C-alpha cells in the first residue's frame, strides 16, 4: 500500500479530462490534497459524478508496451460490465509533453456490485490506479482505492475542482513517438520492445532491417495517391500505371500482408509502429524502381500519420494540433515523393461507392456520427502535413475524367 500511496502524491498537480460527449468536448478538473479556495462552478462535475457510482481507472507503468496492452484489456473488461457506461478519461500536466496517462471514467447504477468486483480484480495489477468519487458538503472528492481483505478501501482522497481547458487538447501531448514516428529507429524500437510478447515482430524487423539508403529516389517521378477508403485510389492507381507505363507500389507493402491483421488488433503504439516501418520497406522499393520508370504509390506516410493523429485525438476537428505543429512534419529519414495527391469526394458519394462495394451497410446511426467526425479529422490532418504537402484532387467525376485531370496535374508539377 505504501508504494501505491507514494506514487499517487504526484496526482496533486494533475488535471483530468473526461470526454463525455465528442461533439461538445471534454470536462476538465484538477485534484488537490486540501480543498481549494474559490471552488468554481461544480455543476458540470455534479453531472459527471452525481448519478449512480462513478469510478476512474488509469494504467501507469514504465513498460510502454505492457501499459498499452493492459489499457486495451481494461477497456474491454469495463465495457463488458452490465448496465455500465464507460467514457474516455485522461490525466495530464498542462502543456507538458508526454505527461498524458490514458484511462476511463465508468458509471454504474448505485446497486451494482459487478463494478466493485471488477476493480478489485484489476487492482491486483500494480500499474492500475482506481478512484471513486464522493460528495460531502458542496465539494467533490476523488478517493484513491486500494485492495484490502474487506474489499475496496479508500487509501487517500483529493479535493476536486473545475479546471480551465488547456490551450491544446490533452491527447496531442503524447502523439510524438506513441502514435506517429518520425524516424526509422523510433518505430523499430517499439517492435524490438514487443518481440517477447508478439513473436511476429521479429519477422517484421528482419524484413525492414536490410541495409540500403532509402531516402534517395531515382530520376523518374514518384507520385503518391492518398485519400479515405473508397475515394478511388485503387481505380486511379491502376489506370495511372497503364497510362504512364509506371510501376505500382503500395504501403504497407505486400511482404507485410501476412502480418497486417495481427498488428491491426494491437494497441495504437504497436499498430502505428508497424505501419511506420512498412513505409520504409516501400521507400526502398521506390528508390529501386524509380531508377527505371515512374512510380505510383497507393498510400504512404500521409496515410500513416493522418489516420494515427485522427485516432489519437478524440472529439472534434478543432481538437487537432494546429497547422504548423511538429506532428505534421515529414520524417527526416524517409524518401520524399515528387508529388502527393489527395483524392477527395463528398461524404455522400463516398458512402455510395462504399455501399457499391457491399461494405458499411449495417453501420448504426451513432457510429455514423462518430465516423463522420473521424473522417473529417483524417482529411484535415492529411491537408496539414507539410513538406511535402498534398494537392487535393476532386475525385467525384467519372474514373476517366479523374485520370485525365491527374495526368495533366502530374505533367505540370513533375515537368514531364
Ligand atoms: N471516379 C469514380 N466514379 C465512380 N465510381 C468510382 C470512381 N472511382 C472508383 N469508383 C468506384 O468506387 C469504389 C471504390 O473505389 P476504389 O478504387 O476501390 O477506392 P479505394 O482504393 O480508394 O478504396 C469502387 O467500387 C470503384 O469502382
Ligand atoms: N501507409 C499506410 C497505409 C495504411 N495505413 C492504415 O491502414 C488503414 C487503411 O487501410 P485500408 O486497408 O482501409 O486501405 P484501403 O484499402 O482503403 O486503401 C488506416 O487505418 C491506416 O491506419 C497506414 O497507417 N499507413
What is the spatial distance between Cα 74 and Cα 178, in angstroms, rounded to a whole number?
19
Residue nearest atom 13 in ligand 2 by C-alpha distance: 229
Coil, strand or helix: which one is 24?
coil
Tens of pLDDT, residue by residue over 266-313, are 999 999 999 999 999 999 999 999 999 999 999 999 999 999 999 999
Report whether pLDDT(22) > 80: no
Question: Can the peptide bond before residue 388 be classed as cis, meaning omega within 30 degrees of 0?
Answer: yes
- The C-alpha cell at 400 is 476517366
List all residues 6 or more positions away from 58 whose beta carbon is below 8 Å from its beta carbon. 89, 91, 101, 102, 103, 128, 129
Report whether pLDDT(360) > 90: no
pLDDT of residue 375: 92
Element of type H or E holding 205:
helix 200-208
Q: Is the distance from the beta carbon of residue 251 to the nearest atom of ligand 2 less than 6 Å?
A: yes
Q: Which CATH superfamily is domain 184-413 in?
A: P-loop containing nucleotide triphosphate hydrolases (3.40.50.300)
How far, in Å, from the CA of 129 to the mean position of ligand 2? Answer: 34
- Mean of per-residue pLDDT scores for the chain: 89
- Residue owning grid cell 482522497: 157
Residue nearest atom 2 in ligand 2 by C-alpha distance: 304
**Cα 185 from chain centroid (whole Å):** 20
Q: What is the mean pLDDT of the segment spanning 179-204?
A: 97
Residue nearest atom 22 in ligand 2 by C-alpha distance: 307
Confidence of residue 4 (pLDDT cuts 50, 70, 90): very low
- The C-alpha cell at 238 is 491502376
Report whether pLDDT(365) > 70: no
Q: Is the distance from the beta carbon of residue 142 to the nearest atom of ligand 2 less than 6 Å?
A: no
Residue nearest atom 5 in ligand 2 by C-alpha distance: 304
Coil, strand or helix: which one is 376?
helix
List all residues 6 or more positions away from 88 whose beta carbon is below 8 Å from its beta carbon. 18, 19, 102, 104, 105, 314
pTM of the predicted protein model: 0.92
Percentage of the residues of the chain whose pLDDT score is greater than 70: 91
pLDDT of residue 40: 66
How far, in Å, from the CA of 410 to the mean position of ligand 2? Answer: 24
Q: Which ligand is nearest to the CA of 349?
A: 1
Regarding predicted confidence, which is higher, 258 or 214?
258
- The C-alpha cell at 388 is 511535402
End-to-end CA distance of the chain: 70
How far, in Å, from the CA of 234 to the mean position of ligand 2? Answer: 12
Number of CB atoms found within 10 A of residue 17's CB: 25
Q: Is the distance from the beta carbon of residue 231 to the nearest atom of ligand 2 less than 6 Å?
A: no
How far, in Å, from the CA of 352 to the mean position of ligand 1? Answer: 10
What is the spatial distance between Cα 32 and Cα 162, in angstroms, rounded to a whole number?
11
Q: Is the distance from the beta carbon of residue 158 to the nearest atom of ligand 2 less than 6 Å?
A: no
Which atom of ligand 2 is the closest one to the Cα of 308?
22
pLDDT of residue 42: 72
pLDDT of residue 415: 72
Alpha helices in 140-198 (DSSP H): 184-194
Tens of pLDDT, residue by residue over 215-259, are 789 999 999 999 999 999 999 999 999 999 999 999 999 999 999
pLDDT of residue 211: 60
Residue nearest atom 8 in ligand 1 by C-alpha distance: 232
How far, in Å, from the CA of 232 to the mean position of ligand 1? Answer: 4
What is the spatial distance between Cα 187 and Cα 206, in angstroms, rounded to a whole number?
14
Task: Report helix angle 268-289 to 200-208, nearest 10.
Answer: 30
Tens of pLDDT, residue by residue over 24-47, are 778 999 988 887 665 667 777 888
How far, in Å, from the CA of 234 to the mean position of ligand 1? Answer: 7
Q: For a ligand 1 pocket test, name from 227, 232, 296 the mutation site with the most ligand atoms within 8 angstroms of its C-beta.
A: 232
What is the spatial distance between Cα 350 and Cα 232, in angstroms, rounded to a whole number?
9
Eight-state DSSP code of residue 94 = T
Q: Which of 162-166, 237-241, 327-331 has the lowest mean pLDDT?
A: 162-166
Q: Is the distance from the beta carbon of residue 344 to the nearest atom of ligand 2 less than 6 Å?
A: no
Report whether pLDDT(213) > 70: no
Report whether pLDDT(361) > 60: no
- The C-alpha cell at 129 is 490506479
Work out whether the CA dihedral 118, 120, 124, 127 comes out positive or negative.
positive
Domain(s) labelled CATH 3.40.50.300 in the chain stretch across 184-413
Question: Can the peptide bond before residue 252 be classed as cis, meaning omega within 30 degrees of 0?
Answer: yes
Q: Is the distance from the beta carbon of residue 227 to the nearest atom of ligand 1 less than 6 Å?
A: yes
Confidence of residue 8 (pLDDT cuts 50, 70, 90): very low
Tens of pLDDT, residue by residue over 346-358, are 988 988 888 877 6
Long-range contacts from 348-352, C-beta under 8 angstroms, 24+ separation: 349/396, 350/228, 350/230, 350/231, 350/375
Number of CB atoms found within 10 A of residue 162's CB: 17
Tens of pLDDT, residue by residue over 68-127, are 999 999 999 999 998 999 999 999 998 899 999 999 999 999 998 899 999 999 999 888
pLDDT of residue 3: 46
Confidence of residue 212 (pLDDT cuts 50, 70, 90): low
Q: Is there a contact between 15 and 94 (Cβ–Cβ < 8 Å)? A: yes
- The C-alpha cell at 231 is 475515394
Confidence of residue 372 (pLDDT cuts 50, 70, 90): confident
Amino acid at each position: 500500500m505504501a508504494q501505491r500511496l507514494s506514487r499517487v502524491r504526484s496526482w496533486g498537480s494533475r488535471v483530468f479530462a473526461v470526454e463525455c460527449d465528442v461533439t461538445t468536448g471534454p470536462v476538465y478538473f484538477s485534484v488537490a490534497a486540501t480543498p481549494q479556495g474559490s471552488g468554481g462552478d461544480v455543476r458540470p462535475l455534479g453531472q459527471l459524478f452525481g448519478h449512480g457510482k462513478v469510478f476512474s481507472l488509469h494504467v501507469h507503468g514504465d513498460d510502454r508496451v505492457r501499459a498499452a496492452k493492459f489499457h486495451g484489456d481494461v477497456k474491454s473488461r469495463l465495457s463488458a460490465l452490465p448496465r455500465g457506461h464507460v467514457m474516455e478519461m485522461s490525466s495530464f500536466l498542462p502543456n507538458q509533453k508526454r505527461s498524458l496517462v490514458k484511462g476511463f471514467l465508468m458509471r454504474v447504477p448505485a446497486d451494482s456490485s459487478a463494478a466493485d468486483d471488477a476493480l478489485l480484480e484489476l487492482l491486483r495489477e500494480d500499474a492500475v490506479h482506481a478512484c471513486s468519487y464522493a460528495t460531502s458538503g458542496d465539494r467533490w472528492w476523488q478517493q484513491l482505492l486500494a485492495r484490502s481483505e474487506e474489499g475496496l478501501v479508500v487509501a487517500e482522497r483529493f479535493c476536486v475542482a473545475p479546471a480551465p481547458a488547456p490551450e491544446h487538447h490533452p491527447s496531442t501531448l503524447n502523439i510524438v513517438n506513441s502514435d506517429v514516428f518520425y524516424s526509422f529507429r523510433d518505430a523499430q524500437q517499439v517492435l524490438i520492445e514487443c518481440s517477447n510478447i508478439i513473436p511476429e515482430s521479429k519477422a517484421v524487423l528482419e524484413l525492414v532491417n536490410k541495409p540500403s539508403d532509402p531516402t534517395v529516389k531515382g530520376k523518374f517521378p514518384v507520385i503518391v495517391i492518398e485519400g479515405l477508403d473508397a475515394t478511388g485510389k485503387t481505380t486511379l492507381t491502376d489506370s495511372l500505371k497503364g497510362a504512364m507505363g509506371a510501376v505500382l507500389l503500395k504501403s504497407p507493402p505486400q511482404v507485410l500482408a501476412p502480418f497486417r491483421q495481427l498488428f491491426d488488433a494491437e494497441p495504437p503504439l504497436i499498430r502505428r509502429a508497424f505501419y511506420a516501418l512498412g513505409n520504409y520497406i516501400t521507400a526502398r522499393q521506390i528508390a529501386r524502381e524509380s531508377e527505371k520508370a515512374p512510380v505510383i504509390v497507393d498510400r504512404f506516410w500521409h496515410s500513416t500519420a493522418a489516420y494515427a493523429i485522427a485516432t489519437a485525438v478524440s472529439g472534434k476537428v478543432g481538437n487537432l494540433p494546429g497547422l504548423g505543429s511538429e506532428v505534421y512534419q515529414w520524417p527526416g529519414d524517409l524518401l520524399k515523393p515528387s508529388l502527393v495527391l489527395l483524392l477527395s469526394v463528398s461524404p455522400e458519394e463516398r458512402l455510395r461507392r462504399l455501399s457499391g462495394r457491399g461494405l458499411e451497410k449495417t453501420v448504426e446511426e451513432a457510429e455514423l456520427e462518430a465516423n463522420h467526425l473521424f473522417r473529417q479529422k483524417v482529411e484535415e490532418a492529411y491537408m496539414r502535413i507539410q513538406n511535402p504537402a498534398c494537392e487535393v484532387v476532386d475525385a467525384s467525376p467519372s474514373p476517366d475524367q479523374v485520370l485525365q485531370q491527374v495526368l495533366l496535374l502530374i505533367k505540370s508539377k513533375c515537368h514531364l
